[in-house]
Amino acid sequence: MSEHLPAFETADSPARTAIYAPWPPNARRSWGAGAIALVVGFYLVATIAMVVGQIAWTVSAHGAGVFSDPQAMTAALSDLPPPVIFFPLMLVLFLTWGGLSLAWVSGFERRGLSTIGFRAERAGRLFVNGAGLAIAAIIALSATGLLIGLIAPVDVTDAAEAADWGRLVDPTVWLVIGGLAAFFFIQGGVEEIVFRGWLMSTLSARWGRIAGVGVTALVFALFHLQVFMSGLYMGLAALAGISMTGLFLGLLALRQGSLWGVIGLHGAFNAVSVIGPVSYMIASQPEATIGEAVSRVFEQATGMAASSGFQPQILAQALVFGTFSLFMLWRLTRTRRQAR
């Protein structure tokens, strides 16, 4: 991987840099804090279809009368729709969010896709390498979780020996797995377009690379505040892990000068993190339907499920991606020193 840090210099900001590709001479820079507000605003607009869809499902499942009882309404709206409804709604949300961000880049900032990391050079190789790095990260997370378990063991029921792995041969299971993989690569790709693509490049042009990477990682983490639904301490540990993950993704994109690697990493990491437990639940819990397995694993993976108590293994993500980030910082520093 070679560092690609093209210059972005104007009369009013000679020290600023473009992190992916030079901006056109007529390009506009969005405001720093304003860009963060736009990320939030675009997301809120994108959630409209999601909210309308969930309300429609609630009415169809519980009847319109549920809204006359505040307690019943709260309980009904807290239940996720079945996966066959929920994931298409989420897909619309992410595609709308990404579409609004790309429209802003093109319409207001007047710059091309290469300036947010969509460079043709080594695109396929970076994407595949990113997916491979995701697998390595999951292996490292598993190993770290096992080591933490030796120090602070947590009671976990192991039903692997009694699992009926033959259930995974069902074509319906493979259809669900394929659909989940496609969804998470799209979801991860959109998040990378919004955060490491547009926001990080915009903030770097305004405030410099260090602030661009750091603030983007912080905003990325704050978009995952639902982890506190699993409890305060579990939420704090999960948020630390998400922050370190966002920091590493930013540093990796900065070093590669491309968005393709982090899209491959983000998509594969999310997909495997959900598909693995879903497959295990389908095999080990024959009483659970495929839809129930997907819903339960998704709620646990996103921190939306209530926790029975603090589980120290949740710290593994912060430790692993924190270590990855330190290594990437060392590589970036070394590259800069060699270039001088």
Position 166 scores a pLDDT of 84
Position 70 scores a pLDDT of 75
Which are the contacts of 83, defined by CB distance < 8 A and separation ≥ 6?
A: 176, 291, 294, 295, 298
Whose tokens are 């990320």? That residue is: 39
CB atoms within 10 A of CB 51: 13
User: What is the rounded distance in angstroms from the CA atom of residue 163 to the CA atom of residue 158?
Assistant: 10
The DSSP letter of residue 22 is P
Residue 220 region by backbone torsions, left for phi larger than 0, else alpha for psi between -120 and 50, else beta: alpha
Position 336 scores a pLDDT of 74
Residue 134 · residue 265 · CB < 8 Å: yes
Backbone angles phi, psi at 120, to 5 degrees: -75, -30
Q: How many CA atoms lie within 13 A of 84 on its CB side?
A: 6
Nearest to 191 by CA among 88, 269, 305: 269
User: What is the rounded distance in angstroms from the CA atom of residue 201 to the CA atom of residue 197?
Assistant: 6
Does residue 308 sit in helix, strand or coil?
Answer: coil
The DSSP letter of residue 285 is -
Position 265 scores a pLDDT of 98
Residue 293 · residue 212 · CB < 8 Å: no
The DSSP letter of residue 58 is H
Assigned token pair, 111: 């710059």
Assigned token pair, 93: 């949300």
Residue 126 · residue 248 · CB < 8 Å: no
Burial class of residue 336, CB neighbours in 10 A (0-12, 13-18, 19+): exposed
Hey, what amino acid is at 73?
A: M
Residues of the chain with pLDDT under 70: 1-16, 72-78, 151-162, 306-308, 339-340
User: What is the rounded distance in angstroms from the CA atom of residue 226 to the CA atom of residue 229?
Assistant: 6
User: What is the rounded distance in angstroms from the CA atom of residue 117 to the CA atom of residue 256?
Assistant: 9
Q: Rounded to 5, what percent of the chain is helix, strand, coil?
A: 75, 0, 25
Position 287 scores a pLDDT of 83
